[in-house]
Structure 1
Amino acid sequence: MSKLSEIVDSLENRISKLLHRHEKLKQQNTRLEEELSVLRSQKEESEKEIETLREKCSSLKMANSMLGSDQYKRDTKLKINALVREIDQCITQLSE
Protein backbone atom coordinates (compact mmCIF):
# COMPACT_ATOMS: atom_id res chain seq x y z
CA MET A 1 0.00 0.00 0.00
CA SER A 2 2.80 2.41 0.83
CA LYS A 3 4.30 1.82 -2.62
CA LEU A 4 1.05 2.91 -4.24
CA SER A 5 0.94 5.98 -2.02
CA GLU A 6 4.46 6.94 -3.06
CA ILE A 7 3.59 6.56 -6.72
CA VAL A 8 0.50 8.75 -6.31
CA ASP A 9 2.49 11.37 -4.40
CA SER A 10 5.16 11.33 -7.09
CA LEU A 11 2.54 11.76 -9.81
CA GLU A 12 0.89 14.61 -7.94
CA ASN A 13 4.24 16.30 -7.53
CA ARG A 14 5.03 15.93 -11.24
CA ILE A 15 1.62 17.19 -12.26
CA SER A 16 1.99 20.17 -9.96
CA LYS A 17 5.38 20.98 -11.47
CA LEU A 18 3.99 20.62 -14.98
CA LEU A 19 1.05 22.91 -14.19
CA HIS A 20 3.39 25.48 -12.69
CA ARG A 21 5.66 25.31 -15.73
CA HIS A 22 2.66 25.56 -18.03
CA GLU A 23 1.50 28.71 -16.25
CA LYS A 24 4.97 30.25 -16.52
CA LEU A 25 5.07 29.48 -20.24
CA LYS A 26 1.63 31.02 -20.76
CA GLN A 27 2.80 34.19 -19.02
CA GLN A 28 5.98 34.26 -21.08
CA ASN A 29 3.95 33.74 -24.26
CA THR A 30 1.65 36.63 -23.36
CA ARG A 31 4.63 38.85 -22.66
CA LEU A 32 6.25 37.89 -25.97
CA GLU A 33 3.02 38.54 -27.88
CA GLU A 34 2.83 42.02 -26.36
CA GLU A 35 6.45 42.67 -27.27
CA LEU A 36 5.80 41.44 -30.80
CA SER A 37 2.86 43.82 -31.10
CA VAL A 38 4.99 46.76 -29.96
CA LEU A 39 7.77 45.82 -32.37
CA ARG A 40 5.32 45.52 -35.25
CA SER A 41 3.93 48.99 -34.59
CA GLN A 42 7.48 50.38 -34.36
CA LYS A 43 8.28 48.71 -37.67
CA GLU A 44 5.21 50.27 -39.31
CA GLU A 45 6.18 53.70 -37.99
CA SER A 46 9.73 53.25 -39.25
CA GLU A 47 8.49 52.20 -42.68
CA LYS A 48 6.23 55.25 -42.84
CA GLU A 49 9.12 57.48 -41.83
CA ILE A 50 11.37 55.88 -44.45
CA GLU A 51 8.74 56.47 -47.13
CA THR A 52 8.34 60.09 -46.05
CA LEU A 53 12.09 60.62 -46.17
CA ARG A 54 12.29 59.01 -49.62
CA GLU A 55 9.60 61.38 -50.88
CA LYS A 56 11.46 64.35 -49.37
CA CYS A 57 14.69 63.17 -50.96
CA SER A 58 12.99 62.86 -54.32
CA SER A 59 11.51 66.35 -53.96
CA LEU A 60 14.90 67.76 -53.01
CA LYS A 61 16.51 66.10 -56.03
CA MET A 62 13.90 67.63 -58.30
CA ALA A 63 14.25 71.05 -56.69
CA ASN A 64 18.01 70.78 -57.02
CA SER A 65 17.75 70.04 -60.71
CA MET A 66 15.38 72.94 -61.23
CA LEU A 67 17.88 75.22 -59.56
CA GLY A 68 20.44 74.35 -62.20
CA SER A 69 22.17 71.27 -60.86
CA ASP A 70 23.32 69.14 -63.81
CA GLN A 71 23.25 65.99 -61.73
CA TYR A 72 19.47 65.54 -61.74
CA LYS A 73 18.43 67.31 -64.95
CA ARG A 74 17.88 64.06 -66.81
CA ASP A 75 15.62 62.70 -64.06
CA THR A 76 13.63 65.92 -64.00
CA LYS A 77 13.22 65.93 -67.77
CA LEU A 78 11.98 62.34 -67.69
CA LYS A 79 9.53 63.17 -64.91
CA ILE A 80 8.23 66.23 -66.76
CA ASN A 81 7.84 64.19 -69.96
CA ALA A 82 5.90 61.52 -68.07
CA LEU A 83 3.62 64.18 -66.60
CA VAL A 84 3.06 65.73 -70.03
CA ARG A 85 2.14 62.31 -71.45
CA GLU A 86 -0.34 61.80 -68.60
CA ILE A 87 -1.89 65.20 -69.27
CA ASP A 88 -2.12 64.40 -72.99
CA GLN A 89 -3.88 61.12 -72.19
CA CYS A 90 -6.33 62.94 -69.95
CA ILE A 91 -7.05 65.51 -72.65
CA THR A 92 -7.60 62.71 -75.18
CA GLN A 93 -10.02 60.94 -72.86
CA LEU A 94 -11.91 64.16 -72.19
CA SER A 95 -12.25 64.97 -75.87
CA GLU A 96 -13.78 61.56 -76.68
Structure 2
Amino acid sequence: MSNTIEAIHLLEDKLKILLSNYEFLKSENQILLQNNTKLQHQLLEKEQNLVAQKKEFDMLKIAKTIEGSSINTKDTKLKINTLIREIDKCIIQLQE
Protein backbone atom coordinates (compact mmCIF):
# COMPACT_ATOMS: atom_id res chain seq x y z
CA MET A 1 0.00 0.00 0.00
CA SER A 2 2.81 2.41 0.81
CA ASN A 3 4.31 1.63 -2.60
CA THR A 4 1.11 2.77 -4.22
CA ILE A 5 1.02 5.97 -2.16
CA GLU A 6 4.67 6.69 -3.00
CA ALA A 7 3.93 6.10 -6.67
CA ILE A 8 0.99 8.51 -6.49
CA HIS A 9 3.12 11.16 -4.74
CA LEU A 10 5.86 10.67 -7.30
CA LEU A 11 3.32 11.00 -10.10
CA GLU A 12 1.92 14.17 -8.49
CA ASP A 13 5.41 15.64 -8.21
CA LYS A 14 6.16 14.84 -11.83
CA LEU A 15 2.84 16.37 -12.92
CA LYS A 16 3.63 19.56 -10.97
CA ILE A 17 7.02 19.77 -12.65
CA LEU A 18 5.45 19.08 -16.02
CA LEU A 19 2.81 21.80 -15.50
CA SER A 20 5.47 24.23 -14.33
CA ASN A 21 7.54 23.51 -17.44
CA TYR A 22 4.45 23.87 -19.59
CA GLU A 23 3.63 27.30 -18.14
CA PHE A 24 7.23 28.44 -18.55
CA LEU A 25 7.37 27.28 -22.17
CA LYS A 26 3.99 28.83 -22.85
CA SER A 27 5.13 32.24 -21.60
CA GLU A 28 8.46 31.90 -23.41
CA ASN A 29 6.60 31.06 -26.63
CA GLN A 30 4.43 34.15 -26.20
CA ILE A 31 7.53 36.33 -25.78
CA LEU A 32 9.14 34.78 -28.85
CA LEU A 33 6.00 35.33 -30.91
CA GLN A 34 5.95 38.99 -29.87
CA ASN A 35 9.62 39.36 -30.79
CA ASN A 36 8.99 37.66 -34.11
CA THR A 37 6.13 40.04 -34.89
CA LYS A 38 8.26 43.02 -33.92
CA LEU A 39 11.15 41.83 -36.11
CA GLN A 40 8.83 41.20 -39.06
CA HIS A 41 7.49 44.74 -38.68
CA GLN A 42 11.03 46.13 -38.57
CA LEU A 43 11.97 44.11 -41.65
CA LEU A 44 8.96 45.47 -43.53
CA GLU A 45 9.91 49.02 -42.57
CA LYS A 46 13.49 48.44 -43.72
CA GLU A 47 12.30 47.01 -47.04
CA GLN A 48 10.02 50.00 -47.58
CA ASN A 49 12.87 52.32 -46.69
CA LEU A 50 15.11 50.52 -49.17
CA VAL A 51 12.54 50.90 -51.94
CA ALA A 52 12.20 54.60 -51.15
CA GLN A 53 15.98 55.04 -51.16
CA LYS A 54 16.25 53.27 -54.53
CA LYS A 55 13.58 55.58 -55.99
CA GLU A 56 15.38 58.60 -54.60
CA PHE A 57 18.66 57.34 -56.05
CA ASP A 58 17.05 56.90 -59.46
CA MET A 59 15.61 60.40 -59.27
CA LEU A 60 19.04 61.78 -58.38
CA LYS A 61 20.55 59.99 -61.37
CA ILE A 62 17.89 61.56 -63.58
CA ALA A 63 18.50 64.97 -62.08
CA LYS A 64 22.24 64.66 -62.66
CA THR A 65 21.66 63.64 -66.26
CA ILE A 66 19.26 66.49 -66.90
CA GLU A 67 21.77 68.80 -65.26
CA GLY A 68 24.09 68.31 -68.17
CA SER A 69 25.93 65.09 -67.59
CA SER A 70 25.92 62.93 -70.69
CA ILE A 71 26.84 59.68 -68.92
CA ASN A 72 23.32 58.33 -68.37
CA THR A 73 21.42 60.23 -71.06
CA LYS A 74 19.90 57.11 -72.61
CA ASP A 75 18.82 55.75 -69.23
CA THR A 76 17.31 59.09 -68.31
CA LYS A 77 15.34 59.33 -71.53
CA LEU A 78 14.02 55.81 -71.01
CA LYS A 79 13.06 56.61 -67.43
CA ILE A 80 11.33 59.85 -68.47
CA ASN A 81 9.39 57.96 -71.16
CA THR A 82 8.38 55.35 -68.59
CA LEU A 83 7.23 58.05 -66.18
CA ILE A 84 5.24 59.75 -68.93
CA ARG A 85 3.55 56.45 -69.78
CA GLU A 86 2.67 55.92 -66.11
CA ILE A 87 1.25 59.44 -65.87
CA ASP A 88 -0.79 58.83 -69.03
CA LYS A 89 -2.19 55.62 -67.51
CA CYS A 90 -3.13 57.49 -64.35
CA ILE A 91 -4.88 60.20 -66.36
CA ILE A 92 -6.84 57.58 -68.32
CA GLN A 93 -7.90 55.88 -65.07
CA LEU A 94 -9.01 59.20 -63.62
CA GLN A 95 -11.12 59.93 -66.73
CA GLU A 96 -12.99 56.63 -66.46
Superposition TM-score tier, normalisation by shorter sequence: 0.7 to 0.9
Paired residue type of 1:74: K
Q: Deviations over 1:9-65 (max 9, x none)?
A: 110011000000000000000100110111111111111111110110000000011
Distance 1:64 1:14, change over 3 A: same
Distance 1:80 1:52, change over 3 A: closer
Q: Deviations over 1:36-95 (max 9, x none)?
A: 1111111111111111101100000000111122221110122234456x39x87xx8xx
Query: Quick one: distance in 2 between partners of 1:55 and 1:17?
Result: 57
Q: CA RMSD in A?
A: 2.0
Give 1:62's aligned residue.
62
Give me the identity figure in percent. 33
1:16 aligned onto 2:10: no
Q: How many residues align?
A: 89
Correspondence 1:42-57 to 2 at 5 A: 42-57=42-57
TM-score, with structure 1 as normaliser: 0.82
- Name the stretch that deviates more: 72-81 or 29-38: 72-81
Query: Quick one: distance in 1 between partners of 2:25 and 2:75?
Result: 56
- Unpaired runs of 5+ residues, structure 2, are none
SS at match of 2:80: helix
TM-score, with structure 2 as normaliser: 0.82
